[in-house]
A = this chain, B = another copy of it.
Amino acid sequence: MNYRTSELAKLAGVSQRTIRFYENEGLLVAQRDPQNQYRYFGTDQVDRLQQILFYRQLGLPISQVKKMMLASDYEIVATLQQQRSALEQQRAQLDQMLQLIDDTIRYQKGDLEMTDEEKFQAFKEASLQENEEKYGEEIREQYGEEVVEKANHQWISQASNNFKRFQAIENDLFKQLAIVAQTHDLESDAATAVSVMANKEDRDADDYTYVESEPWDNVTEIKLYDEDSDKLVDTYRYDKKNDILAKYDDATSKFVEVK
């Protein structure tokens, strides 16, 4: 059974360009129709392509894949193990980034119950300690004191920067949200404001409320109540992942995207 470029591409779920690229690189071998230069791939090439995609999936660069296709079992396992530890390292880095974002976002939560000084101190200490406990030893062993000190310094500095920024939020965000709730003006700026607020805990105010949500929840429901009657006015859903704000429409009983 012979496949043409497009067929093999469809079979493997990759683009034709990818097939031709692999063939050019020597990873796949095609027979050519002498008449029109069309490529024809045999069944063996289907397996080969599978093999290639398998290695690519693991994040190996093409150059490595080439070697893998010729390597002995032993070499293959060795490379896989190497790749494993590389991926593990990447995962640790991702965890660190997630922490960084969470810390940055969560910072707003405990905000209100502390004085500015306390907040800053707590943030500073917590972050540093966490980082130290988690990664301090490893990093120190690997890179030495200086780099760690420098990293810590940068962290504090960064925290300070972020803190300053959130101070700005502190000063006017709540006011803005109050305005949003009153005017029901949920266009661009307001929508964004709501999305920010959506990360807060349950809160009561005269004229609005919103459900609790963690930073990692992808969809948040926000309910707006009338100032006096305490009656539900509107329900919104914010999809953080796709940055879509939708409003509940009573008529159709569905959520309709806002703006």
Which A residues contact B (CB, under 8 angstroms)? Answer: 1, 10-13, 24-27, 29, 32, 43-44, 46-48, 50-51, 54, 57-59, 66, 69-70, 72-78, 80-85, 87-88, 90-91, 94-95, 97-98, 100-102, 104-105, 108-109, 111-112, 128-129, 131-132, 136, 139-143, 150-151, 154, 157-158, 160-161, 164-166, 168-169, 173, 189, 192-193, 195-196, 199, 214-218, 240-241, 243
Q: How many copies does the complex hold?
A: 2
| Contact A90/B81 with A74-B189, A132-B46, A196-B74 known, Cβ cut-off 8 Å | no
A15 → B minimal CB distance (Å): 13
Q: Is the CB of B43 within 8 A of A129?
A: yes
Whole-angstrom CA separation of A217 from B75 in the bound complex:
18
What are 12 inter-chain pairs, A to B, with CB distance below 8 A?
A12-B139, A13-B139, A26-B215, A47-B161, A59-B97, A69-B215, A72-B192, A78-B195, A80-B104, A81-B101, A81-B199, A82-B240
Most chain B CB within 10 A, of A1, A54, A164, is at: A54
Whole-angstrom CA separation of A143 from B12 in the bound complex:
11
Q: Is the CB of A216 within 8 A of B26?
A: yes
Q: Which residues of B contact A81 (CB under 8 A)?
A: 101, 105, 195, 199, 215, 240
Q: Is the CB of B13 within 8 A of A142?
A: yes
A29 (CB) vs chain B CBs: closest residue: B215
Most chain B CB within 10 A, of A13, A69, A77, A168, is at: A77
